[in-house]
């Protein structure tokens, strides 16, 4: 998993219109803060509690964290080939660039991901633990990046390192997020070589019941590792299908319609923000 430098210190309060959310912070995405966006809690999926498993029996949601990165397009190619929909938990800074920057190429990758029917979720702005005091920055800056690309931001978020204590859970509930963990962790970030990735295959197989009628799984992997793309992803898809699981997005495996996965965020409204 990635560990990136902390953000610069934030100002405590401000009001902005189509400018950096934090004056003087060069890491801030362009545009206004998303704090003022209405956040109605719609649908039946819980908000502000940690979700580890699919509620729809017989479903499996493959999830890929930490991208976009160099191997993301290869994962997308594989998913296209095998006609599978997956969920990507996106980090707002990738390889030193904000993913909203057109020159980075990431907006086009994310647009392809969205157009293909995959679900996009938040994985924070720089992958810092949300148990830290920087949680407002990590969550809000990623909302701004999504807003700048799509005009919306996700209602689904996976905390980095799966770390989210009660303060974190309460904060994300206030922000209108479904907090997604996993009940199958491939640990692929520990096994990014042709031999080691066999352990990730073993963890996947050991974690999945051969009885899909009574089970549903959220599977954790990463699209930033070569051997996940080259060795693990196809194996998981083929094994899931062999066992009779239906491969879907996280939203689908929780019975949530796509209209609930994203929150509209107009870019030109006046926003104020506060440090949490």
**137-154 burial string, b = 16+ CB within 10 Å, else e?**
bbbbbbbbbbbbbbebbb
Q: At 93, is the secondary structure helix, strand, or coil?
A: strand
Q: At 122, is the secondary structure helix, strand, or coil?
A: strand
**208-218 burial string, b = 16+ CB within 10 Å, else e?**
beeebeebbbb
Strands (E), 13-106: 13-16, 50-51, 59-65, 87-90, 93-94, 97-98
Please identify which of the residues 65, 188, 192, 223 carries the catalytic annotation: 65
The verdict on whether 193 is a catalytic residue reads no
Phi/psi region, residue 117 (left: phi>0; alpha: psi -120 to 50; beta: rest), is left
The verdict on whether 65 is a catalytic residue reads yes
Alpha helices in 175-210 (DSSP H): 197-207
Q: What is the helix (H) or strand (E) element at residue 253, kind and residue range?
A: helix 250-253
CB 92 within 8 A of CB 119: no
CB 65 within 8 A of CB 184: no
Give Cα separations from 220 to 42, 98, 183 (angstroms). 26, 24, 8
Please identify which of the residues 127, 178, 222, 225 carries the catalytic annotation: 222
Q: Which residues are catalytic?
A: 65, 222
């Amino acid at each position: 998993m990635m560990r990136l430098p902390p953000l610069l210190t934030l100002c405590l309060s401000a009001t902005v219109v189509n400018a950096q959310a934090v004056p003087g912070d060069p890491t801030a995405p362009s545009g206004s803060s998303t704090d003022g966006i209405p956040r109605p809690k719609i649908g039946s999926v819980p908000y502000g509690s940690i979700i580890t498993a699919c509620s729809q029996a017989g479903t499996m949601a493959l999830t890929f964290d930490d991208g976009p990165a160099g191997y993301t397009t290869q994962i997308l190619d594989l998913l296209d080939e095998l006609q599978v929909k997956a969920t990507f938990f996106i980090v707002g800074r990738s390889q030193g660039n904000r993913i909203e920057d057109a020159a980075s190429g990431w907006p086009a990758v994310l647009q392809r991901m969205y157009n293909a029917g995959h679900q996009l979720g938040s994985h924070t702005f720089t992958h810092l633990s949300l148990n830290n005091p920087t949680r407002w920055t990590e969550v809000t800056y990623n909302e701004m990046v999504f807003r700048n690309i799509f005009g919306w931001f996700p209602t689904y978020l996976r905390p980095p390192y799966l770390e989210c204590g009660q303060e974190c859970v309460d904060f994300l509930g206030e922000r209108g997020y479904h907090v997604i963990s996993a009940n199958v962790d491939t640990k692929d970030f520990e096994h990014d070589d042709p031999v080691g990735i066999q352990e990730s295959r073993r963890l996947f197989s050991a974690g999945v019941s051969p009885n899909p009628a009574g089970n549903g799984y959220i599977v954790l992997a990463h699209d930033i590792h070569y051997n996940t793309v080259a060795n693990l992803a196809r194996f998981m898809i083929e094994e899931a299908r062999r066992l009779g699981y239906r491969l879907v997005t996280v939203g689908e495996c929780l019975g949530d319609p796509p209209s609930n996965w994203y929150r509209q965020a107009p870019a030109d409204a006046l926003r104020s923000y506060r440090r949490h």
